[in-house]
A and B are shown apart, each in its own frame.
Chain A
Amino acid sequence: ELKVEQNPLFLSMQEGKNYTIYCNYSTTSDRLYWYRQDPGKSLESLFVLLSNGAVKQEGRLMASLDTKARLSTLHITAAVHDLSATYFCAVDAYNDMRFGAGTRLTVKP
């Protein structure tokens, strides 16, 4: 059974600092997704990663995928308060889609 583990689950960081969220998964997959959710809101799709070595960047967020290590990272550069949200990764492994538990990020001034 596909398992997806995210860490950390909670992250409090200072504005201007860098940090990385990790997403590990248990079975072979070449499709990994990152989403953002603001409190009380729906999901927003951030990145779609489809192949080994894929790297995508949008503003202060950069996501990468290493299918051999079964690991994706979401790197935050020079965090700002607006990035405070919960971030989820999700893995699609041959029609079995599972989400991580989410990382609640708080960026403090």
Chain B
Amino acid sequence: KAGVTQTPRYLIKTRGQQVTLSCSPISGHRSVSWYQQTPGQGLQFLFEYFSETQRNKGNFPGRFSGRQFSNSRSEMNVSTLELGDSALYLCASSLEGTGSQPQHFGDGTRLSIL
């Protein structure tokens, strides 16, 4: 069974640009969550999607957005990139997203802003 796939693995952008990251969950998993990890702020929850609906959102500005498609694949978009957006972005999937099942993580996308 294929794991969670995140693309791209590495990305370099400049300030002011926008970026879209992709996450393909494990087959059959309907919940996808996104996290940001930085040396300064640590791990932070971005948002969770279930059946194409955003269920929860962390404390991030509106420049961070996401969506989920009918096949459960998810994308997150960051507009008007800032230096502080440099981070490892992790995606995780789970069966139902009730919080009662373990999450499975992708390898992450490492985003660098110049």
Contact = CB atoms under 8 A, between A and B. Distances in A.
Interface of A, helix, strand, loop or mixed by DSSP: strand
Interface stretch (A12-20, A37-45, A62-70, A77-85): A37-45
B99 A43 contact: no
Interface in A37-78: 41-45, 48, 50
A43 B90 contact: yes
Interface of B, helix, strand, loop or mixed by DSSP: strand
Contacts of A45: 92, 102-105
Size class of the B contact interface (CB-based, 8 Å): 20 to 34
A107 B101 CA distance: 29
Interface string A95-109: 101110110000000
Given A43-B90, A43-B92, A99 B101 contact: no
Interface of B: 35, 42-45, 55-56, 58, 90, 92, 99-108
